Amino acid sequence: MSKKIKPLYEFGAFTLNPAERLLLREGVPVPLTPKAFDMLLVLIENKGRLLEKEDLIKALWQDSFVEEGNLSFNISILRKALGEDSKKRQYIETIPKRGYRFVADVRILEKENCVEEFAAQTKFLTAPGKQEAHSITESEQTDFGKLAINAEISNQHIAENGGNPIPPSASQLKSSTVKESLFPKQAALVILIIALAAAFAAYKLINQPSDLNTSSQSMKVTRLTTARNAINAAISPDGKYVVYVVDEARQQSLWLRQITTNTDTLLIPPADVDYQDIVFSPDGNFINYFKAGLDNEPAPYQIPILGGTPRQLNKEFPSSALSPDGKQISFIRRSAEGEVALLVANTSDLSEEQKLITRQQPGFLHSPIWSPDGKSIVCVDGNVVETGSQVKLIEVRLADKSVRAITSERWKIIGRIAFLPDKSGILTTVSDYSFGPYQIWLVSLKDGKARQITNDLSNYGSISLTSDSKNLVTVQSDIHPFVWVLPEAQTEQAKQITSSPGTLNDYWGFSWTPDGKIVYVSTVAGSQDIWSMNSDGSDRKQLTFGEHSDFDPSVSPDGRYIVFASERSGNAKIWLMDINGENLKQLTFGNTPNYLPHYAPDGKMVVYTSSDTRNQTLWKISTTEKSVPVQLTRYNSTWGAVSPDGNLIACWRGNEKTGIVELVVLPIEGGEPIKTFSVSPTVKTWAEVNWTSDGQALAYIDTIGGVGNIWLQSLKGDLPRQLTNFKTERIFRFAWSKDYKQLTLSRGIETNDVVLISNFR
């Protein structure tokens, strides 16, 4: 039998069985589309060799003509299945503009050992003396054959729509009706049948609303809310209740979910407030939080878990900044001279301040949390340099102010951090990009090893744990957009030109060329790159390559160049390239991230946003000659767009007095606004501002009624009027063609829901 079996290939935690067309990870089948499996096999058989794109296409699509995008799409599927680290490609290396190379070490098993090795990995061998045979009836073969076909089709559907099937657990395989020992002739068929059946079951599991994709076989993720715009959540110490904040039209409300009964209770109705640092009291009887209004600083409050009248606290600080005994509070202070300090003080009267450590900007500290024993404080320690920001987790002991790095891991950005109550580790949200998405990691305090808990395309926000460290609650955010084109901005003529939200990263901007092509951002090749396509979605071409993040493209008025933001040199900077992706040139430098470039009508200047540790400001720089960037605003402002006549700039400004975001217009030379417009609380001020063709109005996105539409604000000060008339879904980004005759936009569904993660350790 061994002579008829092809070799098995082992690499990392994976085993590839060409004969049975199975990929295993530690003995568990990993679902792949047929074409992705073929590609992986070709790459492995040519391990260490550069495979040109044309050669790969010929090998995989011998009898048909396909676009290059099919190649990069299947590479993306493989990287997701293999769990590739975006920082370092440990399996498949991209050679820009040429092809791909399999770089991991591969071990080829001896042929005579193939059957035994494969059976052992799939956990079907039993102890000696338990030899039993199992015969499959004709009807069973027919049913399993249908299931196998359905499973293969289902996995193709999952991959084409950006999903990541969950492999079955070892316990699921062991519970099969197949006996624990098989004759070699029957083993291959039954293993294949069970693997495909398990894959189909996994597909069904993924599409149940309560279960989500996870990175651990035993980990369980349960959705607690559906279609709610949740922004913050906390779980009670006993794990019976979850409190969460819902944000609708900039009005926030506080809700309580009883997990066992799946019931929700409104604790505090919607109001113009901001809820922060929500946490249950140690006994679980109260909910503590900070609340900030429009005109006042955050203040601590408390409400009974079953509802009642909130009361303001004077001496208690209900947040992670409060020491376990409630006697001290930790906080970060920034001075006018650029010093950033971590301090502690008594909660009774904020006296006896003690400065623990300091950093000088662009160094920074944030998110201090107390250890469960109250003897140390953990916080994020980072520095912003031209080659990119690096952050780490540090522990500061109060007794001697000594500092130690908790882990050797260095990330681009850290969001939230939380101690496991047993002090065995720390949970944190981490992103490899300046603008997310954030994934959850677990860092061991014993040896500093870091393990990724979630590994998907979602964004994870707040972190809250039960007292036994077995369950955590977080907010999971997902965006599912498609690209649409509207001739003359007519809603009834809107045409969807993309069919899969998993292949285009439409959230990161569009721009039109003068000849009617759309320049956009896609992650289909495994990294965030600039692409182009026709206005009907055809002829897609990749313009930038490499292991980095490119976004926010803007095409020059003459169609010869593209400016865009890129993290290829470290922090996000503004780059320039030819329309075909050649002759890249870096325009901006320095420590601060730069993004959102917008060409001026003369094609000689670009306005962009720069962000430091304090706020965002507008700048401009020449694209035709070497020059120094010029600062245009001193106030918090972003999304600068130049008017068609080149004389004005429109942008969003954060009003420092009221905290409200306003739409403003300023001269091209910069300075204070000459026009200011108040906008509805439902306006998406994190999305772009665009001018109309005559320069007499500004266009933006409003989500009034929960539906996204484009609205126009006249410079004359008239009431805004609605331009598009969609009845469902939201709009995330939009752009006019150069002649203003077509409007393109990314439109789809956005969800922000509370999820419960169990068995993550």
Q: What are residue 403's phi and psi, to 5 degrees?
A: -125, 135
114 exposed, middle or buried (CB, 10 Å; 0-12, 13-18, 19+)?
buried
pLDDT value at residue 331 = 85
Rounded Cα distance, 216 and 73, in Å:
25
Rounded Cα distance, 17 and 22, in Å:
5
Rounded Cα distance, 410 and 430, in Å:
10
pLDDT value at residue 401 = 93
Residue among 722, 749, 733, 745 nearest 688 (CA): 733
How many other β-carbons are positioned within 10 Å of the β-carbon of residue 705?
10
Compute CA 717 distance to the chain's CA centroid, rounded to the nearest angstrom. 38
435 CB-near residues (< 8 Å, 6+ apart): 551
Same fold? 2-206, 220-477+754-758? no
Cβ contact 547:527 at 8 Å: yes
pLDDT value at residue 167 = 32
pLDDT value at residue 267 = 94
Greatest C-alpha distance within the chain: 90
In the chain (761 residues long), the average pLDDT of successive 10-residue segments reads 63 88 81 82 90 86 63 78 72 85 85 46 36 32 31 32 32 30 33 36 35 54 84 94 88 92 92 87 88 72 90 60 81 85 80 86 87 91 72 92 91 88 90 78 91 85 90 90 91 87 64 96 82 92 86 96 91 94 93 93 96 87 92 95 97 82 95 94 88 96 88 94 93 94 90 91 81
| CATH class of the 2-206 domain in this structure | mainly alpha
Containing H/E element for 76? helix 68-82
> Angle, to 10 degrees, between the axis of helix 34-45 and the axis of helix 68-82?
80
Residue 294 is encoded by which pair of tokens? 């429009």
Rounded Cα distance, 85 and 698, in Å:
41
Return the domain boundaries, the chain: 2-206, 220-477+754-758, 500-680
Cβ contact 142:148 at 8 Å: no
Could you list the beta-strand ranges (E) of 43-176.
51-52, 92-95, 99-102, 107-108
Which residue carries 């039960």 as its tokens? 466
pLDDT value at residue 350 = 64
Rounded Cα distance, 715 and 697, in Å:
5
Rounded Cα distance, 34 and 581, in Å:
32
Which listed CATH number (2.30.40.10, 2.40.50.1070, 2.30.110.10, 2.120.10.30) goes with 220-477+754-758?
2.120.10.30
pLDDT value at residue 715 = 96
| CATH class of the 500-680 domain in this structure | mainly beta
Express each pLDDT in 673-716 by its tens digit. 999 999 988 898 888 999 999 999 999 999 887 789 999 999 99
pLDDT value at residue 316 = 46
% of residues, the chain, pLDDT over 70: 78
Express each pLDDT in 107-157 by its tens digit. 887 544 444 444 444 433 333 333 333 333 333 333 323 333 233 333 333
pLDDT value at residue 595 = 93
Rounded Cα distance, 731 and 133, in Å:
59
pLDDT value at residue 663 = 96
The CA distances from residue 380 to 29, 124, 250, 645, in Å, are: 38, 47, 29, 46
